[in-house]
Structures are given as structure tokens and as C-alpha cells.
């Protein structure tokens, strides 16, 4: 699977807000050639939604927050220095920051989409190549492994664990490629 396509499919999964969106994301992955199999009943999809929310959303404290700042700051926190770095990168590219009430800029779904935007821009804008290298090697490569480990250790259900494995493979492929495909 192409790296950009995989990033966007992973983005859709981690941005899901309910069982319907989780199901749509998993269905897109299956259509793209992945062998993922989602739950077979609506009840199982709802159970997956609850497990997903327990791991990543809340309302209570979550064991695997999907924000870079939690893993990159000296003290785990939201909206840290690393969030500001992503915000500045987005502004430099002319991208609008999320609206108030939405996830902070360093949410995994925004960062995966940002990676895709930079990957597409590398041919047109020379500075995009340097920004992509920073995002990949000095940002994503530093926090995604800790996020993945924390989520798996928090008893992620099998489908979520498979998605985390896909995220691991994507990051390894991106780092190995050294540039977008």
C-alpha cells in the first residue's frame, strides 16, 4: 500500500468519533488490500467504540492519549511546546489551525495528514523536504513508538492492536524510504 494512502486510512481510523466512523475506516482499509476484519455485528462495533474511547478519547483519563505533546514534553501534558511546533509548521504551509473545540494540532490524525501534505509538496517546494524530514525523524519517530506501546499495553482490543501494528509498519516504511513515495 502506498505510504500516503496508508497514512490517510490510519488518519481516518484515529479520527473516528463513533462506531460508524470506525467501521467506515476499517472498510476503506479492507478495500485497499488490508486483511483487517472488523466486528461482525453492530453490538461488537459499539463495544469497539467503547474500547477505542477508553484508550484514546475519554471522558476519563486515557491510557494512550493520541497527542505528541504527551510523549515529547518533559512532563506529560496537552498543548505543550511540540503542539506549538506543529502549529507553526501548519501556518508556514498556509494551513488553518483546528477550530476551537477541536483536537489540538498534535493529534495523531492531524499529524498523519500533515505528513501527506508535506509528502506531496516536496517536488514543488524545496523547504517541504526539510520539513518532512523533521516531521518524520524528529517528531513522529520520537512519539509514535511510545504511543503504540502504551496503547498495546493498555489491553487494546485485537482490531485496535492490528491498527497499531499497521501504524508501526507505516512509520518503519516512511523512515526506511527517507522520502515520500
CA 131 to chain CA centroid, nearest Å? 18
* Domain regions of the chain by residue span: 3-177
Is pTM beyond 0.85 here?
yes
> Would you state the pLDDT for residue 16?
95
CATH 3.40.470.10 fits 3-177, yes or no: no
pLDDT digit of tens for each residue in the chain (181 aa)?
599 999 999 999 999 999 999 999 998 887 676 677 777 889 999 999 999 999 999 888 899 999 999 999 877 666 778 888 988 988 888 887 777 667 788 999 999 999 999 999 988 888 889 999 999 999 999 999 999 999 999 988 999 999 999 999 999 999 998 744 4
Amino acid at each position: 500500500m502506498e505510504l500516503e494512502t496508508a497514512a490517510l486510512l490510519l488518519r481516518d481510523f484515529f479520527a473516528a468519533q463513533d462506531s460508524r466512523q470506525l467501521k467506515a475506516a476499517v472498510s476503506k482499509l479492507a478495500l485497499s488490500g488490508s486483511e483487517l476484519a472488523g466486528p461482525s455485528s453492530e453490538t461488537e462495533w459499539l463495544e469497539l467504540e467503547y474500547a477505542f474511547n477508553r484508550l484514546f478519547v475519554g471522558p476519563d483519563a486515557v491510557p494512550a492519549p493520541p497527542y505528541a505533546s504527551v510523549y515529547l514534553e518533559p512532563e506529560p501534558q496537552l498543548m505543550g511546546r511540540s503542539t506549538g511546533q506543529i502549529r507553526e509548521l501548519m501556518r508556514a504551509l498556509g494551513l488553518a489551525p483546528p477550530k476551537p473545540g477541536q483536537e489540538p494540532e498534535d493529534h495523531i490524525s492531524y499529524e498523519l495528514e500533515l505528513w501527506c501534505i508535506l509528502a506531496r509538496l516536496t517536488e514543488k517546494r524545496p523547504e517541504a523536504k526539510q520539513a518532512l524530514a523533521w516531521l518524520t525523524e524528529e517528531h513522529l519517530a520520537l512519539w509514535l513508538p511510545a504511543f503504540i506501546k502504551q496503547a498495546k499495553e493498555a489491553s487494546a482490543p485485537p482490531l485496535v492492536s492490528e491498527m497499531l501494528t499497521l501504524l508501526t509498519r507505516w512509520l518503519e516504511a516512511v523512515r526506511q524510504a527517507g522520502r515520500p513515495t
